[in-house]
Structure 1
Amino acid sequence: MPVAPSLVKIIFVFCIQHVSTTDVIDRKTDPSILEDAALNTFNLIRKYGYPCEIHHAVTHDGYVLEMHRIPYGRKNTTKDGRPVVFLQHGLLSSSAEWVLMSPEKGFAYLLADAGYDVWMGNARGNTYSRGHISLTTASSDYWKFSWHEIGYYDIPAMIDYTIYVTKVPKIQYIAFSQGTTVFWVMTSSKPEYNDKILAMHALAPIAYVGHMRSPLVKAIAPLTTGLHKIIQLLGPDEFLPNGKINELAGQRLCLEESYTQVLCKNLLFLICGFDTEQLNNTMLPVVLGHTPAGASTRQFVHFGQLYNSDKFTNFDHGWIVNKYTYGTFTPPAYNLSAIRTPIFLHYADNDWLSTPKDVDRLLHEVKTVVGKFKVPLQKFNHLDFVFANDAKSLLYDRIMSIMSGFL
């Protein structure tokens, strides 16, 4: 996959400038960590003593999506009458992000032990959702989607399936990063889905991104004004698929005793913000073993378009295709006033992707926001919402307390 030389230079210079001997920890890596890096979501959950089921939903446009369910907990094994919660991952990730950390820290485990029937979605094109009724991932037609299609087709299909299986009228929805973006798409474009959600918790919510501080995303954004140019640059289909490069990073480059582990940390920080205190060095091989999990190039292009326009709009195909697709030369904005679900926004000061100013703008646009909560740690960053050492005490406990009010 071709990558812009300027972007490579940015990453390289940044990493070299931050190499320090304090980042090297000379102790043997636990073999269990390497095992967790290689296990898929299903087997990872089963390894830690939790039940897990695999389910599949098919979208109206033919994509086959895999979902993972923890029907009950290890500490709370009651099976009947459990409230249902649906978790949706962020960009370049998968259902694994909710269970990568230990059962004492992973949000899906905590929810299962708190009495919830936990369902985890996987967006089209990631590690677990690469099927289609007629297309293969080798076809460019397969990858002609952005996060708009995930919100318009994938999330409704998985929610409908979850409600069908569990036979509950409504569920609670928790999402991280892009998982919140696709929720705004669904509930604004298909308002009837507001009636299927009891409450929505948005972790690092993303709609408006005009104040985004990520150097890597900002470097890509100006190129998205020419769709053909950026797709030529990043590749027309899949962006950062999880393959040999992840395997190498997980098994060699990101181990605690490795001198190159600092490169893994700084690459993550370059995108999302810095917080060395909350990043568990030991877990880096696990995180890099599962992330990135695959996404389409158009998902990145779409976010770049939002940064350039400072609006929350549909995908910009260029004025000719826009006129044919939307009836207008410019892509229409999403109607956030159509959202009726009770919304809880959870944000952080050090988040380079979901900045406080952009969260405030979302707060004023979505009229059903019930509460906006700042994580009480100044250095808390974007990835900390799912991977922080202290996410339970800083964030998850509060969310579960709020959720209990909807039971």
Structure 2
Amino acid sequence: MYTSSPSLYLLVIIIIKQISYITTEKLPSALSSIELATKYGHPPTQYNIITEDGYILAVFRLPGRSRIPVLLMHGILDSSDMWMLRGNTSLAITLANNGYDVWLANSRGNRYSRRHKILNPDTDPAFWQFSFHEMGYYDLPAVIDTILNESGAKKLSAIGHSQGNTMFYVLGSERKEYNSKINVLIALAPIAYLHNTPPPLSIVIQLSPLIESLVKKLGVYEIFGDNSTTGLLVHKFCSTPDIAYAVCIEQILFPVLGFDREELEPEFAPTLTVHYPAGTSVQSILHFLQIGYRKMFARYNYGSKVNRRTYNSPDPPEYQWDKITMPIALLAARNDRLSSIPDVAILRRRLPSVVFYLENPRSTLNHVDFIVGRNMPVYLFPYIFQILHENNHFVD
């Protein structure tokens, strides 16, 4: 439980309201996904995919000679950029260099998928009424169908990071016909439960009812978008060389995701912070906080009144693990403070089709090392290529 402090409540409101008066400036320049892929030798094709509910998603294809496409799905507040920031030692470029047909998706609401057929993200709050549920239920089917149609393959392989895996659990549970379209999901830093997260995140989870009440009162829908006040502040502040590492990495990122200065070095910090965060809905953050607070992997909790209208129940329904039959490889890290080993263990017990499990032998591997660590080709890529080799099956 939590105790509501009126003075704390008022202070947070004042701070957030004052932030809105800060003069906005242009973000520091950053290479786009198209520019990154082209820079490293793989000029991509862009697809603008429209979901069932009208969102327009940007997906980039790095064509390869392999007949089996590989879909890379980023985590929360992230984008397709992150898979290429390390250049020739990044996962997307390494896969492309080895002949894989690589597809980089962007979930709704980030910098590449902030579009809709009807809704305006700047003026329509309805645009932002989504979380990983809608990403799994609508975004992934649209992306998977497009990939299979364009490639001629019957099945694909997928690699997810963090929320990029949560989406697949929703897909397998809610749209079970898609289980058979996936050779294997390689789940890097998989997230489904947040029972065992240490401070400071555990404190935020306990305060989540207060946080949810505040954002609703203030009418905040988007967070850390490129043109939002929060996004402009973070990118401007954290791209400053003297601040990027000492504050944004060591004081903010590492306490939540795990400390590992060897893999995320000071020289790389400005490159990371100009691309990350890439924006999402506030509801996406709140959904994960609800999972931690309620200790249930369930649909979004709107409150009993709206839940009854939406789910015909005062409580949101839990996702059904037994329907998730796609083969899944779980790759966890002992120094991951967000996707902790005990929480991954709960997930592993729930999933009926785990084909591979690994606690990475590198003891300081953290949550973000899986996608931007300096030495990924040494401690991570051999396992990914092994799993792909053992599970990739082309169906005529």
Query: For this structure pair, what is the TM-score category when the shorter chain's length is used for normalisation?
Result: 0.7 to 0.9
Q: Superposition pairs for residues 359-378 of structure 1, below 5 Å?
A: 359-378=344-363
Q: Which runs of 5+ in 2 are unaligned?
A: 1-8, 16-27
Answer yes or no: is the 8 Å Cα contact 1:82–1:117 preserved in 2. yes
Contact in 2 for aligned 1:38/1:289 (Cα 8 Å): yes
Question: Is residue 263 of structure 2 the alignment partner of residue 278 of structure 1?
Answer: yes
Shift of 1:37: 5.8
* Cα 1:381/1:4, change in 2 over 3 Å: farther
Matched letter for residue 109 of structure 2: G
Kindly provide the CA deviation profile for residues 105-164 of structure 1, in whole angstroms up to 9, marking residues without a partner as x: 210011111221000110000000011010011111100111111111111111111111
1:248 Cα offset (Å): 2.1
For 1:387-398, what aligned pairs fall within 5 Å after superposition?
A: 387-398=372-383
Q: What is the SS of the residue equivalent to 1:316? A: coil
Q: Which residue of 2 aligns with 1:248?
A: 236
Indicate the residue corresponding to 2:22 in structure 1: none
CA deviation after TM superposition for structure 1 residue 220, in Å: 2.9
Match in the other structure for 1:71: 63
Paired with 1:110 and 1:339, the residues of 2 have a C-alpha distance of 29
2:188 touches 2:331 (CA, 8 Å); kept in 1?
A: yes
**Structure 1 40/292 Cα, relative in aligned 2: closer, same or farther at 3 Å?**
same
Question: Is the Cα contact below 8 Å between 1:302 and 1:315 reproduced in 2?
Answer: yes
Q: Is the 8 A contact 2:212 2:286 kept in 1?
A: no
Separation in 2, partners of 1:204, 1:309: 21
Partner of 1:20: none
2:145 matches 1:141? no
Runs of 4+, deviation exceeding 4 Å: 3-9
Query: In the aligned structure 1, how far is the partner of 2:315 from the partner of 2:245?
Result: 44
Q: How far off its partner does 1:231 sit? A: 2.1
Q: CA deviation at 1:4?
A: 8.9
Alignment partner of 1:231 out of 206, 215, 232: 215
Distance 1:306 1:350, change over 3 A: same
Residue 114 of structure 1, aligned match among 78, 88, 98: 98
Partner Cα separation in structure 2 for residue 195 and residue 214 of structure 1:
39
SS of 2:81's equivalent in the other structure is: helix
Query: Secondary structure in 2 aligned to 1:353?
Result: coil
Paired positions, count: 367
**Structure 1 letter corresponding to 2:329:** F
Whole-Å separation in 2 of the counterparts to 1:5 and 1:226: 13
Q: Which among 35, 38, 48 is matched to residue 46 of structure 1?
A: 38
| Mapping of residues 4-403 of structure 1, within 5 Å | 38-72=30-64, 79=65, 81-103=66-88, 105-138=89-122, 139-215=124-200, 217-225=201-209, 229-232=213-216, 236-243=220-227, 244-249=232-237, 251=239, 253=240, 255=241, 258=242, 261-265=245-249, 266-403=251-388
The alpha-carbon deviation at position 322 of structure 1 amounts to 0.6
- Structure 1 vs Structure 2: percent identity of aligned residues? 35
Normalising to structure 1: TM-score of the pair?
0.85
In structure 1, distance between residues paired with 2:38 and 2:29: 14
Give the direction of change, closer, same or farther, for the CA distance of 1:388–1:332 in structure 2 (3 Å limit). Answer: same
- After TM superposition, give the deviation of residue 230 of structure 1 in Å: 3.9
Supply the distance in 1 between the matched residues of 2:10 and 2:277 (Cα, whole angstroms): 19
AA of the residue aligned to 1:56 = N
Please give the secondary structure, in 2, of the residue aligned with 1:132.
Answer: coil
| Aligned alpha-carbon RMSD (Å) | 2.3
Q: Distance in 1 between matches of 2:199 and 2:39?
A: 36
Aligned to 1:21: none
Counterparts in 2 of 1:87 and 1:259: CA distance versus 1, 3 Å: closer
What is the deviation of 1:397? Answer: 1.6
Name stretches of at least 5 consecutive residues in structure 1 with no aligned partner.
Answer: 10-35, 73-78
